[in-house]
Structure formats: structure tokens, C-alpha cells
């Protein structure tokens, strides 16, 4: 039995890693979905008798996108089930077993999305958005509404862990409210952009987000460590986007593209000031040491010493 286990492990270790096993199903998925969208929309246009040019955009706008994606996914799945056994990488039964495991892994985010849609439909039925719009009246300054939507999107996406689920809840609420508050289409665009952008925050930082859990599992990284890293990067960007993007652009202090320039400059400054290699001090630490009159022990050329030695030197006492 030990010999069989050893041979099985050696066989698994010799599994070939071929790039087209990953690329071909994705390419087929995209191509079949796009082709299906074109021909499905074309059929709808011809049956309706409308005088519309049969361009891809016109056809895609008339097609049943869900059916098209199902067809593309099915063809891609069949191709995968043919490719893998044909190369003797894995048997059909093993492929089906992994397929079932993948469906199990997607069941939780699918349920979250379904419940979010259900909540959105329920809020539409009881006219929640109309109630909020009536309660706010015309008292709320409309220039602050995009930043408020952004903040709500941050909190809701972090609590739910789903960007699509949060969008299914937040859009039926904020769109009628902003339409009630103002007739300015520019505010509509800013509000929708704030809703789209803020809901991605939870996908990256929430501990219950499927993407967060999957990233930690695939990289064999502890979930807590992964969350620490993602939070370190995402929270400052979220704050900058809220302040210099949604708030100041909503107040019409400058055009939207200026917010991109400001935030990128701030990110680069933070990276230069606080970013460092593990065996080096950051520029901010250097400035602090000079202000305090503290000197560090150096060992000549930094290239001659190892990172561990340089780290121990930086942790040494001041001379």
C-alpha cells in the first residue's frame, strides 16, 4: 500500500502544467458569449421589424444576456471536461468531483446575492426609497449626497462581503432619492459612480467576502494576515477617494479628473515617505532620526551585508 501511495503521489507530482488548459476555456467562454449575444440580439431586432443597424452594440442591447452567458459557460465547461481527460491529467469522475466542489464553494455568494435581490425587491414593494426621499425633503445639500452614498456603500459592502449584493440593495434606494432631491444629471452620474466604486471595498477587506477567502486559500496565506495586508492598502485609498473624490468633486471644487491626479500624487508621496524594504529605513524614519539627532550603526556598503544583518543593524541602539 505504501508503494501504491508513493507511486500515486509521484504521478500527481508529474502532472503537466500547460498554459492552454487555463487559457482556452476562458477564450471560448468570452467568444461564445459574445457571438451568442450578437446573434440573439440580431434575431430579436429582425423579429421586431425595427429599423436599427445590426451592429454589435445594438444587438447586445437587445439580447438575453443571462442565456448567452449560460451558453458560453456550458461550452467552456464541456471543453474543459474534454481537455483534461484527453491529456490523462485527470479522469472524468475526478473532474466532475472538482466541479461539484466548485459549485459548493460558489453556493454561499450566490445565496448572498439572491437574498440581496430579495431585499431589494421587498424595499421596492414597501416604497422605502420614496419614504427616505420624503423624509429628507429638500433639506439635504445635494452636493454631499455622493459622499454619503460612498460611505454607506463602504459600510454595507464590508458587512455583507458582496459587491453585487450591496449594489442590489443600494441602487433601489439611492436612485429614487437623488432624483427626488435634484434634476441635475451631473449629480446623478456622481451618485451612481459613488455607489459602484464604494461597493468594491467590502470585496477586498471584508473577512466574509468570497474573494478574500478564496485569495487566502489559493495563496496558502492565513486569513488574518491577508486581511491585515489588504486593509493596510485599501483603507487609505478608500479615505482618499471619499475625501478628494466624492466629497470635493460633489462640491464642484474641481473636475473629476483632478481628483485622480491628487490621489495619485498623495499615494506616491506616502509610498516614498513610508514605504521601505524590510532591511532599510523609510524616508520618514530617516527624517525622524535626524530631527532627534539619532545616528544609526552602518556597516559600510549595504550591498555587502545580508538583509538579516542589515535589519539587525537598524534595530541596534543609537551611538
The cell for 216 is: 487566502
3-state secondary structure of 298: coil
> Is the pLDDT reported for residue 98 higher than 90?
no
> In the prediction, which pLDDT does 136 show?
64
- Rounded Cα–Cα distance for residues 227 and 223 (Å): 6
Nearest C-alpha neighbor of 84 from the set 22, 28, 9, 26: 22
Average pLDDT over the chain, rounded to an integer: 79
What lies within 8 Å, CB to CB, of 302 at 6+ separation is 279, 280, 310
Lowest mean pLDDT, pick from 7-21, 54-68, 223-237: 7-21
Beta strands in 120-198 (DSSP E): none
> Is the pLDDT reported for residue 73 higher than 70?
yes
> Is the pLDDT reported for residue 143 higher than 80?
yes
CB 29 within 8 A of CB 73: yes
* Spacing of C-alpha 94 from chain mean position: 31
pTM, 2 dp = 0.60
> In the prediction, which pLDDT does 31 show?
94
Mean pLDDT of 69-79: 91
For the four alpha carbons of 74, 80, 83 and 87, in that order, the dihedral sign comes to negative
> In the prediction, which pLDDT does 133 show?
66
- Rg of the Cα atoms in the chain: 27
> Is the pLDDT reported for residue 233 higher than 60?
yes
- Rounded Cα–Cα distance for residues 217 and 161 (Å): 16
Lowest mean pLDDT, pick from 106-110, 253-257, 311-315: 311-315
CB 170 within 8 A of CB 156: yes
CB 38 within 8 A of CB 65: no
* Position 284 confidence tier, pLDDT thresholds 50, 70, 90: low
Amino acid at each position: 500500500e505504501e508503494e501504491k501511495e508513493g507511486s500515486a503521489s509521484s504521478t500527481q507530482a508529474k502532472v503537466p502544467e500547460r498554459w492552454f488548459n487555463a487559457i482556452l476555456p476562458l477564450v471560448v467562454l468570452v467568444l461564445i458569449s459574445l457571438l451568442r449575444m450578437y446573434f440573439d440580439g440580431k434575431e430579436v431586432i429582425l423579429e421586431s421589424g425595427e429599423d436599427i443597424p445590426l451592429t454589435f452594440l445594438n444587438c447586445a442591447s437587445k439580447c438575453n444576456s443571462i442565456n448567452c452567458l449560460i451558453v458560453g459557460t456550458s461550452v467552456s465547461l464541456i471543453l474543459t471536461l474534454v481537455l483534461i481527460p484527453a491529456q490523462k491529467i485527470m479522469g472524468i469522475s475526478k473532474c466532475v468531483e472538482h466541479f461539484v466542489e466548485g459549485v459548493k464553494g460558489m453556493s454561499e455568494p450566490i445565496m448572498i446575492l439572491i437574498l440581496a435581490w430579495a431585499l431589494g425587491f421587498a424595499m421596492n414593494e414597501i416604497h422605502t426609497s420614496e419614504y427616505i426621499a420624503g423624509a429628507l425633503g429638500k433639506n439635504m445639500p445635494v452636493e454631499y449626497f455622493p459622499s454619503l452614498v460612498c460611505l454607506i456603500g463602504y459600510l454595507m459592502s464590508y458587512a455583507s462581503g458582496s459587491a453585487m449584493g450591496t449594489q442590489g440593495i443600494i441602487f433601489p434606494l439611492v436612485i429614487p432619492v437623488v432624483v427626488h432631491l435634484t434634476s441635475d444629471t451631473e449629480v446623478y452620474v456622481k451618485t451612481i459612480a459613488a455607489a459602484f466604486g464604494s461597493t468594491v471595498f467590502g470585496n477586498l477587506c471584508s473577512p466574509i467576502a468570497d474573494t478574500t477567502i478564496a485569495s487566502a486559500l489559493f495563496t496558502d496565506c492565513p486569513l488574518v494576515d491577508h486581511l491585515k495586508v489588504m486593509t493596510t492598502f485599501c483603507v487609505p485609498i478608500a479615505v482618499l477617494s471619499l475625501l478628494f473624490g466624492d466629497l470635493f468633486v460633489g462640491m464642484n471644487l474641481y473636475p473629476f479628473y483632478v481628483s485622480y491626479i491628487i490621489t495619485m500624487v498623495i499615494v506616491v508621496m506616502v509610498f516614498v515617505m513610508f514605504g521601505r524594504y524590510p532591511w532599510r529605513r523609510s524616508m520618514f524614519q530617516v527624517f525622524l532620526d535626524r530631527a532627534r539627532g539619532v545616528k544609526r550603526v552602518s556597516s559600510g556598503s549595504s550591498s555587502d551585508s545580508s538583509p538579516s544583518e542589515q535589519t539587525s543593524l537598524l534595530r541596534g541602539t543609537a551611538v
